[in-house]
Amino acid sequence: MKIGFDAKRAFLNNSGLGNYSRTLIKSLDEYFPENDFTLFTTKKSGNEFEQFISKKQNIHIQEPQHFIDKKLRSRWRSYGITELLNQQHIDVYHGLSNELPFNIHQFKGKKIVSTHDLIFLRYPNLYPFLDRKIYNKKFRHACDIADTIIAISEETKRDIEKYYFIPENKIQVVYQSCDEAFYKTYSEAAKKSIQEKFKLPTDFLFYVGTIEERKNLLTIVKALKNVKDIPLVVVGRKTSYFEKVKAYIKEHKLEKRVVFLENVSNQELPVIYQLASIFIFPSLFEGFGIPIIEALTSKTPVITSKGGCFPEAAGPNSLYIEPSDEKDLAEKINHLLASEQTRTTMAEKGFEYAQQFHPKTITNQLIQLYK
- Tell me the per-residue pLDDT of 133-174, one tens digit each, with 9 for 90 and over: 999 999 999 999 999 999 999 999 999 999 999 999 999 999
Tally of domains within the chain: 2
Q: How far apart are CA 222 and CA 367, in angstroms?
A: 45
With respect to residue 364, please indicate whether it lies within any of the assigned structural domains: no
With respect to residue 165, please indicate whether it lies within any of the assigned structural domains: yes
Q: How far apart are CA 42 and CA 202, in angstroms?
A: 43
With respect to residue 72, please indicate whether it lies within any of the assigned structural domains: yes
- Provide the β-strand partners of residue 321: 305
Q: Are residues 16 and 46 in the same domain?
A: yes
> Nearest CA to 259 among 239, 276, 241?
276
Task: Tell me what the mean pLDDT of segment 105-116 comes to.
Answer: 97
Q: Are residues 158 and 227 in the same domain?
A: no
The answer to whether the CB of 308 falls within 8 A of the CB of 285 is: yes
Task: Tell me what the mean pLDDT of segment 120-143 comes to.
Answer: 93
With respect to residue 370, please indicate whether it lies within any of the assigned structural domains: no
Residue span of the structural domain in which 223 resides: 180-356
Final residue of a domain: which of 123, 155, 174? Answer: 174
Write down the pTM of the prediction: 0.88
Question: How many other C-beta atoms lie within 10 A of the C-beta of residue 371?
Answer: 8
pLDDT for 51 equals 85
Residues 308-324: tens digit of each pLDDT: 899 999 999 999 999 99
With respect to residue 45, please indicate whether it lies within any of the assigned structural domains: yes
Q: Are residues 21 and 151 in the same domain?
A: yes
pLDDT of 47 over the 80 cut: no
What are the distances in angstroms from CA 162 to CA 76, 100, 125, 135, 157?
31, 21, 19, 16, 9
Residues 345-357: tens digit of each pLDDT: 999 999 999 999 9
Burial tier of 101 (Cβ tally within 10 Å: 0-12, 13-18, 19+): buried
Burial tier of 271 (Cβ tally within 10 Å: 0-12, 13-18, 19+): buried
Final residue of a domain: which of 159, 174, 189? Answer: 174
> Nearest CA to 337 among 254, 232, 261?
232
Final residue of a domain: which of 124, 142, 174? Answer: 174
CATH of the domain at 115: 3.40.50.2000
> Nearest CA to 19 among 181, 193, 177?
177
Q: Are residues 161 and 224 in the same domain?
A: no
Q: Are residues 60 and 8 in the same domain?
A: yes
Q: Are residues 286 and 239 in the same domain?
A: yes
Residues of the chain with pLDDT > 70: what percent?
100
pLDDT bracket for residue 14 (50, 70, 90): confident
Q: Are residues 139 and 157 in the same domain?
A: yes
Handedness of CA 259, 262, 242, 296 (dihedral sign): negative
pLDDT for 123 equals 87
Q: Are residues 152 and 252 in the same domain?
A: no
Say how many CA atoms lie within 13 Å of 200 toward its Cβ. 29
